[in-house]
Amino acid sequence: MYRFDREAYEKRVAWFRQARLGMFIHWGLYALPARGEWVRSNERMPLEDYQRYFDAFTAPDCDPRQWAQAAKAAGMRYMVFTAKHHDGFCLFDSKLTDYTSVHTPCHRDFVAEYVTAAREAGLKVGLYYSLLDWHHPDYPHFGDRYHPMRDDPRYSNENRDFSRYLDYLHGQVRELCTNYGKIDLMWFDFSYDNPDFPMRAETWRGGELVSMVRTLQPDILIDNRLEVSGEGGFGSLWTGDPGPCHGDFACPEQLIPPEGIRDRQGRDMVWEACITMNNNWGYTRDDGYFKPADMVIRKLVECVSKGGNLLLNVGPDGRGRIPRQSLEVLEKLGAWMAVNGESVYGCGKAELPKPEFGRFTRKGNRLYCHIYENSIGPLPILGIREEDVAEMRLLSTYAQVPIARSWVRSNYPDLVFADLGPDPVLPDPVDTVLEITLRR
């Protein structure tokens, strides 16, 4: 049985702390009805009605190399792809079921293609696997909180053997950890408080599952949703006494923690915020509420300033293409990262008060001031003194920025003021980054 080792854990998460930015990809049969990945559950759709999408799944324009290149160009360092979502449809060649993309009209193993594409692009490989399964006959139907047939008494749970489903689940995870080479991250989703059958770590034989995964993939990272998804908290790693199926990182959804995440002892935890570009994970035709690129850039910086990562989602359409709106955001994000990535990769909390002009990130003796709003006169940098500063420069051009020493700042001898020049308009209106090299 796996046992926690702090030194091994710190080595395992080192790349994740450096990466700071990743791409989530939600894709599957639900891209065809185009009403989100929960369409079966939300609409109480019987399996026979959902079968039409299996029969029509051709994905003529799906090219995982294009996905990977879009991620790399956006400055992302890792990807997480939905090998199986809650509907039970598998995007990989499983020997345990025919409910896979290999048995659709396209006859393709998309996990294999994705893994190859990510590796070719130099990106870390992550796989998402849903613990829920609305297709498997032994998974609870009637009375479950989310199953599409939860309200239909014709789908009773009589003669359903949950242990058979667990054997299936463990077997599929073994396939993913065995058949596709090195996997850097496994993203399980999700445990919850079922009315009659609590879905928690022990329900899934979580300790056994995690031990198997870590045996097959010794360096892999695992999220914390085996323990805590849907029921609050941050799991046993937070308590300081990690259990056998602890997560390596917390993964708040559609939320950036107000002050980052610390464990009960006050140590910074490893975490990523998983965020959609619009309001749905899977492709949704009528959801045009995309976050503008300026907002995405600033939210990335917010995550890093609080010690976390941003996992930004795309939902390819039924043909397998990333929507145009998402590509436009990724392109602008990539252009900013190409200039300012040094203020993101490997950076974290500055342990300074949040400035009025924007945010701080820090890496060693380099302090990065993310300036969203210019000041009147020289820019005050709270929390450091003039004798602490070795050099200041704009990250975009490496142009030196002098310390302002005019009489207007003489009443504030304990503050450093940066002279950004006579133009009140910032060079980058989204986020102008000032790099300060500190003497300490």
Give the model confidence (pLDDT) of 117-167 as tens digits: 999 999 999 999 999 999 999 999 999 999 999 999 999 999 999 999 999
Residue 299 has pLDDT above 80, yes or no: yes
Nearest 5°: phi and psi at 55? -70, -20
Listing DSSP states for 17-41 in one string gives: HHH-EEEEE--SGGGTTTB-TTHHH
Instruction: Kindly state the tokens that stand for 19.
Output: 């990466």
Cis amide prior to 190 (ω within 30 degrees): yes
Query: Which 3-state string (H, E, C) describes 52-114?
Result: HHHHCCCCCCCCHHHHHHHHHHCCCCEEEEEEECCCCCECCCCCCCCCEHHHCCCCCCHHHHH
Quickly tell me which residue has 């995405």 as its tokens.
296
Question: Is residue 299 classed exposed, middle or buried when 0-12, 13-18 and 19+ CB atoms within 10 A define those classes?
Answer: middle
Nearest 5°: phi and psi at 25? -125, 115
Dist CA 332 CA 264 (whole Å): 38
Residue 29 has pLDDT above 80, yes or no: yes
Q: Report residue 405's pLDDT band, with 50, 70 and 90 as the boundaries.
A: confident
Domains and CATH numbers, the chain: 6-343 (3.20.20.80), 358-438 (2.60.40.1180)
Q: What is the pLDDT of residue 190?
A: 80
Q: What is the pLDDT of residue 2?
A: 86
Q: What is the mean pLDDT of the chain?
A: 96
pTM: 0.97
- Looking at the chain, the number of H-run helices and the number of E-run strands are 11, 13
